[in-house]
Structure 1
Amino acid sequence: MSANVLPLAKHLPSASPLAFGCMGLGGSWNDTPWGPADADHAQAAVEAALEIGVTVFDHADIYTFGKAESVFGELFRRQPSLRDRIVLQSKCGIRFEDAHGPKRYDLSGAYILDAVEASLRRLGTERLDLLLLHRPDPLMEPDEIAEAFSKLHTQGKVTHFGVSNMNAGQIAWLSRSLDQPLVANQLELGLGHLEPIEAGTCFNDRQAAALPGALAWGGTMEHCQANGIQLQAWSSLARGRFTGDTTVDPRDEPARVLVHRLAQEHGVSPEGIVLAWLMRHPARIQPVLGTSQPARIRACGDALKVRLSRGEWYALYEAARGTALP
């Protein structure tokens, strides 16, 4: 496979280098029904994403309490041809507090099946191109998950499967029971969330002790690369920490200044630089755009116009981590 081709393209050839995260669609995170204004907002965001070549649209059953999927279903009704132009993925496994328990993770076979049925109903479609397990469930049983995946695949309701927020050990353990390969792993990753990269860079240095949680990701990026699993990066823009005119945390200022300087030198947006940093990694990381603002979505398209040098990549890495490498 060419170094410029996403691992995901082996399974979904039309997959784009950037993905659009639909978390901000559907209105507020409550039970208030979505309305025409929410649908218009979603349409403007999706049109902006399509303009910059995005074909992968990332959902989760919990986003705005299911309204993100519902309002996306409205877009399919407005423009039925849209469904065949995109790669549609969703996630399941997080349950909010209810009469049966507190907020929890549920990867039981029955819940996965029910969650997919509900997502398909809200989206108004017959299939998901990709289903991700949203969070690792301490009570998950791989054989039970495998049975649910097999049923969904046989019924044509899900074409491919993946995970989110899982480390190398969890992926390997789960994969042993599956008939289908896991084709994606979505992690919190970017200049604002360096832990998966730091786990490899600093595993054998005393700096590792100053990186809470980083070593838990040891080998995860390498495992995904070795097994052709697409790394998707959520929070890839770090909520604008490095792209705005000012920063809230003074520790982010060196990286913010450098991002803006490189943007000016390359003639692209600051968003383009932040995402290009991720995409420079040989894992062919696929950033998931979390913004639903059309102008900012279009700015993200600049990531496709620049390839950072090794020196520029390391300069951003050092600025974001706040200290020189060991």
Structure 2
Amino acid sequence: MSTYAIQQHFPRASKLAYGCMGLGGSWENNELASTDKYQAQSIIETALTNGINFFDHADIYTLGKAERVFGQVLIEQPTLRDQMIIQSKCGIRFDDESGPGRYDFSSKWIEESVDGILSRLNIETLDILQLHRPDPLMNIEEVAPSFEKLQASGKVKHFGASNMNHHQIAYLQSAIKTPIVANQIEISLKQLGWLEHGVLAGNPNGEHGNFTPGTLEYCQLNNIQIQAWGSLAQGLFSGRDNSSEAHHIQATSTLVNKLAEQYQSNPDAIVLAWLMRHPANIQPVIGTTNIERIKRCVAALEVNLSREDWYKLYVSARGNALP
């Protein structure tokens, strides 16, 4: 795959996405503060100025406040919408009077969720809607008509998945006419399951992994953009205190800093460049609310790690030599 899959649908889509989970203040039912709006505006402007035009939401982020504060910025600066690609997710329901925390891909919940997303974001069309986590009770004969209805009405352009393996995506795709365009999963220099299942094929050491073999390959074959949430590993290798972590984590942090000097870049950029060096053309989703760190992340686009340096990081992060 020579280009990013998402660019087939959105040619101007940035190779980095900004994850909006940190917008809107706390995860409590309180009103948005003026500081929340100022933060959102500053982050949006910084992202766009530095070439990041892809924004990732979910209806649950800060209990809907992430979308609401983003929407407030768009109300005051409506021309920004034309510069953006906006995706959001639905399907996660919190504990309430009706039941425990659960997943819901019923047509009623999907359609109501999209209406809520559009209202909070103050937009008419969502570029991508992702189903947030696999719902064991998903009925594809119910999901498919909802997708068709949402697309026909102009409320959603494209659809994607989040935290799904390739079997689940293929099953969903079998019922819908429009192609699934993205799958967002946890991928980072710390979360290595996406690599380990392939490297440990036929090796007993790989039997306990929780990343279904073939997911990356399926997405590549079917032009599904792989998006990486948790891509910065919460700063584990790029500045966070890791003095209590295992030796191989500390050693990997040291290596990241060494490579940052070697490539005349910075540790955050190296961590992201390692992901982007993979031929699947992974689109990292960064969620930092630190303005300067957003700028540092963009430097990843200028780093092309050698094969040897990529493997140095991989072997160091896994803590053991390859089999």
The reply to whether TM is greater than 0.5 is yes
Task: Please tell me the root mean square deviation across aligned C-alpha atoms, in Å.
Answer: 1.0
Task: Tell me, in whole angstroms, the C-alpha distance in 1 between the residues paired with 2:18 and 2:238.
Answer: 18
What corresponds to 2:245 in structure 1? 249
Equivalent position of 1:27 in the other structure: 25
Name which of 184, 193, 217 aligns with 1:222: 217
Deviation, 1:217, is 1.7
**Partner in structure 1 of residue 116 of structure 2:** 118
Match of 2:285 in 1: 288
SS at match of 2:223: coil
Aligned-partner residue type, residue 55 of structure 1: N
CA distance in 2, matches of 1:148, 1:89: 17
Classify the secondary structure of the residue corresponding to 2:185.
Answer: strand
Q: Which residue of 2 aligns with 1:166?
A: 164
Distance 1:96 1:183 in 2: 27
Tell me the matched-pair count.
Answer: 321
Q: Using the alignment, how far apart are the partners of 2:149 and 2:107 within structure 1?
A: 10
Q: Give the counterpart of 1:53 among 51, 66, 71.
A: 51
Secondary structure of 1:267's partner?
coil
C-alpha separation between the residues in 1 aligned to 2:33 and 2:153? 33
Shift of 1:47: 1.6
Shift of 1:197: 1.5
Conserved in 2, the CA contact under 8 Å of 1:8 and 1:15?
yes
Q: How does 1:267-282 map to 2 (within 5 A)?
A: 267-282=264-279
Q: Measure the CA separation in 1 of the matches of 2:240 and 2:75.
A: 39
User: In the TM superposition, what is the alpha-carbon distance from 1:245 to its structure 2 partner?
Assistant: 6.0
CA distance in 1, matches of 2:4, 2:285: 14
Q: Which amino acid aligns with 2:147?
A: F
Structure 2 residue 272 is the aligned partner of structure 1 residue 261: no
Deviations 1:241-276 (A, max 9, x none): 000164141341111011000001111110000000
Mapping 1:1-326, distance limit 5 Å: 3=2, 5-209=3-207, 212-214=208-210, 216-244=211-239, 246-247=241-242, 248-251=244-247, 252-326=249-323
CA distance in 2, matches of 1:200, 1:289: 25
Give the distance between the partners of 1:47 and 1:325, measured in 2 at CA: 43
Deviations 1:208-249 (A, max 9, x none): 14xx433x4210000000100000000000000000164141
Letter in 1 for 2:7: A
Contact 1:89 1:128 (C-alpha < 8 Å) held by counterparts: yes
Give the whole-Å Cα distance in 1 for the aligned partners of 2:225 and 2:16: 12
In the alignment, is the contact (CA less than 8 A) between 1:277 and 1:308 conserved in 2?
A: yes
Corresponding residue SS for 2:135: coil
Gaps of 5+ in 2: none
Partner amino acid, structure 1, of 2:234: R
Q: Secondary structure at the match of 1:217?
A: coil
1:72 partner SS: helix
Give the AA of the match of 2:297: C
Dislocated runs of 4+, deviation >2 Å: none
Give the Cα–Cα distance (whole angstroms) in 2 for the partners of residues 260 and 101 of structure 1.
47
1:168-216: CA deviation from partner (whole Å, max 9, x where unpaired): 110111110001100000000010111112111112112214xx433x4
Which one-letter code corresponds to 2:216 in the other structure? M
Partners of 1:218 and 1:253 in 2: CA distance: 29
Is the 8 Å Cα contact of residues 197 and 221 (structure 1) preserved in structure 2?
no
Answer with 48-57 or 305-314: which moved more: 48-57
Inter-partner Cα distance in structure 2 for 1:190 and 1:57: 19
**2: CA distance between counterparts of 1:84 and 1:32?**
30
Return the letter of the residue paired with 2:259.
Answer: L
Distance 1:120 1:132 in 2: 14
CA distance in 2, matches of 1:33, 1:246: 33
CA contact 1:128–1:158 (8 Å) conserved in 2: yes
Secondary structure of the residue that 1:319 maps to in structure 2? helix
> How far apart, CA to CA, are the structure 2 residues paired with 1:300 and 1:52?
10
Relative distance call for 1:289 and 1:245 in structure 2 (3 A) is: closer
